[in-house]
């Protein structure tokens, strides 16, 4: 271990120590706040050179069909209507093979024996010629910016996987630090008026992790995602004073009084970290009262920009708003923005029946907004420093479940863009039917490790004493997609 590495490890160690000791002592829990406040000696340094400063983490709940989005399988049209036994892929449904990586009892999904044709058209996009399903044609236009990872696999064939996608651990392990909370924990703030980690959209359902999806578990609540609603009227809990008639001037006067009184009380408690943190928290809260509603001022955006995100259309307005607000957050230095789509109970992308009808309805809600986000980030020069991740909990079966497709954890897809990720490439592959991840398989936490790596953090060294995570929970950087 070289000296520099040791130093970095030391500084992180100190940091984790500060947070951990805080379980008993309020003052020391404030590692980050203090450090940002200039009270702590060492700033938290990047462990590895950072390529990105912010992440926008998009999560589509329910399990998006990889087969009809970013891992198109023409073979499905060829074999449509046939059973696996009638194709060269007889052994695919072998129970042991299918369930090899699944965890726990009652965890399997019945084999879907009859292959189903693609439910949407597709075509090639960009110089790279990425094939994308028509449901995601707008995102297709950004093909040359995407690194599509087609070889994900996971252990959980049910929607508890929504939590796993965020924590890297099984839903029965309950609350664990999420990817966003690690970023928030590991890195300093870029904006004193806003939290580092913000989540938007409906949280995942109680079945599948609920609020844990953007929680911080043992890292401490200060690192959890702050839920901000795009309900422009009430984006943050308690952001406005109760009742009517309280003016901003009056609030400012009170905050000033509180500051004065707090400072006056410190005589007997010199250098009290709690007191300083509280003073600071009131300052930040005052900032948030202004900064958060300011984020929602979409009237500051041009009509053209709003259209780019699909805000002018009913079906894409809600998610378009989230995407646009996410960009505004990134501009203000928010480190990690998590966008949920279709979450709550199993998730709207869970197409057990009538997949065509369902995706015809769901895809237009997100396709243009996400494409708009990528294009807008790019034209503003923000894509270089902003890493966008498009993910879901698993794929869907090549075999038909009536008019739909079932859960499919053995092989599925996500993509990354910006933030030092290579554009216009695909990495890893499933077999001809999109069943198994056969080339460069990646467990879902490899995406976490890659994101952390781009943010300048080393997943292998992010840990809190006494809370060991084993290798598979940390994952490994996918070097092939990193610039």
Partner 1 sequence: MMPIQIRMILWLGFLVVCTTPASVFAVDEIDYVRDVKPILKTHCFRCHGPLKVESGLRLDTKSLALTGGESGPALVPGNSDASNLVQRITGDDDSRMPPEGERLGDKEIKTLKKWIAAGADSPANEKVEDPRSHWSYQPILRPEPPTVGDGEWSRNPIDAFIARKQQESQVVPRPLASRHVLLRRVYLDLIGLPPTRAQLRAFLDDKSSGAYERAVNSLLASSHYGERWGRRWLDVWRYSDWYGFQNQVRFSQKNIWHWRDWVVESLNADKGYDRMVMEMLAGDEIVPFDPRNLRATGFLVRNRNTDSREQWIRDTIEHTAKAFLGLTMACAQCHDHPYDPIWHEEYYRYRNIFEPVQVGIDSGGGGPTGEDLAGVARIYDRNRNAVTKFYIRGNDRTPDEKRKITPGVPQVFFEWTEPESVQLPPKARIPHLREPVYKQTIARMEYDVRQSEQAVLAAEKYLAATKQRLAKSSTDHSTPAADTFVIEPFQEMRGDVWKQGRGKWDYSNGHLAQTLVNEQRDCYLEAVRQPPAKFTLRLRLRITGGTEGLVGVLFNRSKDGSRGEAVLLSVNKEKPGLRFFFEYGDERHFYDKYDRELPITTGEEFVLRVDVRDKLVNVYLNDLLQQAYEVTSGDSGDLRLLAIDASAEFYHLRIDSLPDDVPMVPARTIPLFAPFAQLDKSHPSHMSLAGAVIEQSQLQFEVNKAQLASYQATWAADSWKLLNAPPKEDDNATKSHKTRLDELALVAQVAQRQLTLAQSKEARFKADHELKVATAQSEVGKKGDEKEVEKLVKALEGAKKKVASTTKQVETAEQALKDPPMPKYQGLSDNYGSSSGRRLALARWVSDTRNPLTARVAANHIWLRHFGRALVGTVFDFGLNGSKPSHPNLLDWLAYELMHPSLVLESNGADVRWVEGQPATRPWSMKHLHRLIVTSRAYRTASTPDEKNLAADPDNHWLWRMPPQRMDAETVRDSVLAVAETLDKTRGGPALPSFDGMSVPRRSLYFHMSPEKQMAFLKLFDGADPTECYHRHVSIVPHQALALFNSQLAVAQSRVLTRRMSQQFSDTNTFIQAAFEQVLSRPITEKEFKICRDFLTAREEVYRENGDPASVTSQAIKVDQPSIDPRLHARENLVHSLFNHHDFVTIK
Under the binding rule (CB under 8 A), the answer on residue 220 touching partner 1 is yes
Taking CB under 8 A as the rule, does residue 262 contact partner 1? yes
Pair 383, 58: CB distance under 8 Å: no
Tell me: does residue 23 bind partner 1 (CB under 8 A): yes
Q: And the tokens for 16? A: 């984790």
* Nearer of residues 54 and 164 to partner 1, judged by Cβ: 164
472 binds partner 1 (CB under 8 A): yes
- Of residues 430-449, which lie at the interface with partner 1 (CB under 8 A)? 436-438, 441, 443
| 211 Cβ contact partners less than 8 Å away, ≥ 6 residues apart | 203, 227
CA dihedral angle for residue 91, residue 93, residue 96, residue 97, rounded to 10 degrees: 70
Site string for partner 1, 288-327 (x = CB under 8 A): xx------------------------xx--x---------
Name beta bridge partners: 152. Answer: 412, 442
Rounded Cα–Cα distance for residues 33 and 280 (Å): 8
Interface with partner 1 includes 2 (CB under 8 A)?
no
Residues between 330 and 369 with contacts to partner 1, criterion CB under 8 A: 345, 361, 365
Contact 66, 470 (CB under 8 A): no
Work out how close the CB of 167 gets to partner 1 at its nearest, in angstroms, rounded to a whole number. Answer: 12
Taking contact as CB under 8 A, which single stretch among the options 41-49, 320-328, 375-383, 466-474 is the one that binds partner 1?
466-474
Residue 118 interacting with partner 1 (CB under 8 A): no
Q: What does R_g of the chain's alpha carbons equal in angstroms?
A: 23
Q: Is 270 in the site for partner 1 (CB under 8 A)?
A: yes
- Decide whether 63 or 168 has the Cβ nearer to partner 1: 168
Q: Which residues in the 25-84 window bind partner 1 by CB under 8 A?
A: 25-26, 29-30, 33
Residue 192 CB contacts under 8 Å (≥ 6 apart), including other chains: 36, 283, 284, 287
Smallest distance, partner 1 to C-beta of residue 18, A: 12
- Residue 237 CB, nearest distance to partner 1 (Å)? 6
Q: How far is the CB of 404 from partner 1 (least distance, A)?
A: 13
Among 264, 299, 303, 479, binds partner 1 (CB under 8 A): 264
The reply on whether position 206 binds partner 1 by CB under 8 A is yes
Contact 197, 336 (CB under 8 A): yes
CB-neighbour burial class of residue 222 (10 A; exposed 0-12, middle 13-18, buried 19+): buried
Shortest Å, Cβ 144 to partner 1: 31
Quick one: which segment of 69-77, 287-295, 367-375, 452-460 binds partner 1 (CB under 8 A)? 287-295
Residue 4 is a binding residue for partner 1 (CB under 8 A): no
* DSSP conformation letters of 234-273: -SSTT-S-SSS---HHHHHHHHHHHHHHHHHHGGGSTT-H
The pair of three-digit structure tokens given for residue 440, joined into one six-digit string: 């460069």
Following CA atoms 216, 217, 219, 220 in sequence, which dihedral angle do they give, to the nearest 10 degrees?
90
133: alpha, beta or left, given left = phi > 0 and alpha = psi -120 to 50?
Answer: beta
- With binding defined as CB under 8 A, does residue 470 bind partner 1? yes
Q: Find the shortest distance in angstroms from Cβ 195 to partner 1.
A: 8
């Amino acid at each position: 271990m070289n000296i520099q590495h040791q130093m970095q490890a030391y500084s992180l160690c100190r940091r984790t120590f500060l947070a951990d000791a805080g379980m008993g002592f309020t003052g020391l829990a404030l590692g980050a706040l203090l450090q940002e406040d200039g009270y702590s000696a060492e700033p938290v340094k990047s462990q590895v050179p950072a390529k990105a400063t912010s992440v926008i983490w998009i999560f589509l709940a329910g399990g998006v069909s990889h087969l009809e989005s970013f891992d198109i399988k023409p073979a499905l049209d060829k074999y449509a209507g046939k059973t696996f036994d009638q194709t060269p892929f007889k052994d695919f449904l072998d129970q042991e093979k299918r369930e090899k990586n699944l965890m726990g009892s009652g965890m399997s999904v019945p084999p879907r024996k009859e292959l189903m044709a693609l439910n949407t058209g597709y075509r090639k996009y960009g110089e790279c010629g990425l094939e994308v399903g028509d449901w995601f044609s707008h995102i297709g236009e950004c093909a040359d910016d995407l690194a599509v990872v087609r070889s994900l696999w996971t252990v959980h064939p049910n929607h508890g996987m929504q939590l796993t996608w965020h924590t890297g651990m099984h839903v029965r392990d309950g609350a664990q630090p999420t990817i966003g909370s690690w970023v928030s924990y590991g890195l300093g703030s870029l904006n004193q008026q806003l939290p580092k980690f913000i989540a938007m959209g409906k949280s995942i359902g109680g079945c599948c992790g609920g609020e844990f999806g953007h929680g911080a578990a043992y890292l401490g609540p200060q690192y959890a995602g702050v839920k901000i609603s795009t309900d422009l009227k009430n984006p943050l809990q308690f952001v406005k004073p109760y009742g009517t008639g309280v003016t901003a001037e009056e609030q400012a006067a009170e905050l000033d009084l509180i500051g004065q009184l707090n400072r006056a009380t410190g005589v007997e408690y010199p250098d009290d970290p709690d007191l300083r943190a509280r003073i600071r928290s009131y300052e930040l809260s005052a900032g948030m009262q202004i900064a958060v509603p300011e984020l929602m001022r979409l009237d500051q955006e041009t009509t053209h920009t709003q259209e780019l995100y699909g805000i002018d259309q009913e079906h894409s307005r809600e998610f378009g708003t989230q995407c646009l607000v996410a960009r505004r957050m990134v501009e203000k230095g928010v480190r990690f923005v998590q966008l949920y789509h279709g979450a709550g109970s199993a998730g709207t992308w869970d197409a057990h029946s009538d997949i065509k009808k369902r995706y015809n309805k769901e895809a237009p809600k997100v396709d243009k907004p996400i494409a708009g986000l990528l294009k807008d980030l790019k034209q503003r020069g923000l894509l270089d420093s902003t890493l966008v991740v498009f993910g879901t909990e698993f794929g869907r079966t090549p075999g038909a479940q009536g008019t739909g497709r079932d859960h499919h954890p053995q092989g599925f897809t996500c993509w990354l863009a910006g933030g030092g990720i290579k554009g216009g490439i695909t990495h890893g592959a499933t077999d001809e039917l999109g069943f198994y991840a056969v080339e460069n398989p990646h467990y879902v936490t490899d995406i976490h490790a890659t994101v952390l790596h781009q943010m300048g953090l080393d997943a292998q060294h992010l840990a809190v004493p006494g809370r060991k995570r084993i290798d598979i929970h940390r994952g490994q950087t996918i070097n092939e997609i990193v610039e």
